[in-house]
């Protein structure tokens, strides 16, 4: 319980979740560590969501790029649970940025927290299992979880690079007076667009 609370506070303070997930597995084992990590993830997301609601778009603008705010105004407001679930499942989307994007949308707490709790399980489980099996690096459980981590991080990096390359070739979309016009994309494409400007976690 105490670890879960500490985990949530740390994620709200931008401590990397992979480090916390590895620690959860090393300290509590796979099952208890996963429960503590998922609970802490949901708690941390809720704290950031509440803080974002208090600050509002103007307060978060220095922390988030315009593309993130456009996503929050559009897709997250219309499809809260589905978008949150996709963001949590997709490798490379930064946890904190997703929290604050959701906060400035019109999404409610329930779809955001439920989508976070379900979507974070696969990635969290991989790190927790790796942490619990760190003493046996040749065990099948460690090797499988480590392979999952490597593949997910590599996939996020590749997709981010490809999307950045495509955006560079396409250039900004101009509107009246030369102003940029946001392009509405389907859910997976918008999720990939979020990963363009962030490093994989």
- DSSP structure string for the chain: -HHHHHHHHHHHTT--HHHHHHHHHHHHHHHHHHHHHHHHHHHHHHHHHHHHHHHHHHHHTTTS-HHHHHHIIIIIHHSHHHHHHHHHHSTT--HHHHHHHHHTSS--HHHHHHHHHHHTHHHHHHHHHHHHTTT-TTSHHHHHHHHHHHHHHHHHHHHHHHHHHHHHHH-PPB-GGG-B-PPP--HHHHHHHHHHTS---
Which residue is listed with tokens 């208090």? 54
Hey, what are 122's tokens? 């696969």
Give the pLDDT confidence of 116-148 residue by residue, as tens digits.
999 999 999 999 999 999 888 889 999 999 999
Please tell me the predicted confidence (pLDDT) of residue 71. Answer: 59
pLDDT at residue 102, rounded to an integer? 84
Locus of tokens 């392979």: 147
Say which residue, 40 or 103, is predicted with more confidence.
Answer: 40
pLDDT the model gives residue 178 = 44
Integer Cα distance of 48 and 84 in angstroms: 14
Q: How confident is the model at residue 93 (pLDDT cuts 50, 70, 90)?
A: confident
Phi, psi of 86 (to 5 degrees): -65, -40
Task: Give Cβ neighbours of residue 44 (< 8 Å, ≥ 6 apart).
Answer: 7, 8, 9, 10, 11, 12, 95, 99
What is d(CA 58, CA 113) in angstroms, rounded to the nearest whole number?
Answer: 23
d(CA 160, CA 32): 33
pLDDT in tens, 148-182: 988 888 877 777 677 666 656 655 544 444 444 44
Are 111 and 2 spatial neighbours (Cβ–Cβ below 8 Å)? no
Contacts of 156 (CB under 8 A, 6+ apart): 90, 91, 92, 93, 195, 200
pTM of the predicted structure, to 2 decimals: 0.73
**pLDDT tens track for 53-75:** 888 766 666 666 555 566 566 77
User: What's the confidence (pLDDT) of residue 35?
Assistant: 95
């Amino acid at each position: 319980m105490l670890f879960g609370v500490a985990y949530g506070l740390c994620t709200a303070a931008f401590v990397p979740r992979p480090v916390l997930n590895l620690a959860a597995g090393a300290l509590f084992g796979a099952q208890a560590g996963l429960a503590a990590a998922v609970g802490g993830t949901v708690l941390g997301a809720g704290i950031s969501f509440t803080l974002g609601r208090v600050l509002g778009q103007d307060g978060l603008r220095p922390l988030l790029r315009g593309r993130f705010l456009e996503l929050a105004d559009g897709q997250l407001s219309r499809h809260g649970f589905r978008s949150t679930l996709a963001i949590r499942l997709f490798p490379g989307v930064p946890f904190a940025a997703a929290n604050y994007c959701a906060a400035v949308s019109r999404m409610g707490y329930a779809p955001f927290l439920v989508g976070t709790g379900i979507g974070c399980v696969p990635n969290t489980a991989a790190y927790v299992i790796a942490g619990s099996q760190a003493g046996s690096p040749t065990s099948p459980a460690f090797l499988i979880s480590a392979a999952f981590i490597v593949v997910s991080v590599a996939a996020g990096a590749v997709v981010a690079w490809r999307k950045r390359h495509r955006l560079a070739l396409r250039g900004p979309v101009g509107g009246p007076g030369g102003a940029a016009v946001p392009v509405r994309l389907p859910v997976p494409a918008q999720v990939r667009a979020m990963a363009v400007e962030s490093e994989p976690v």
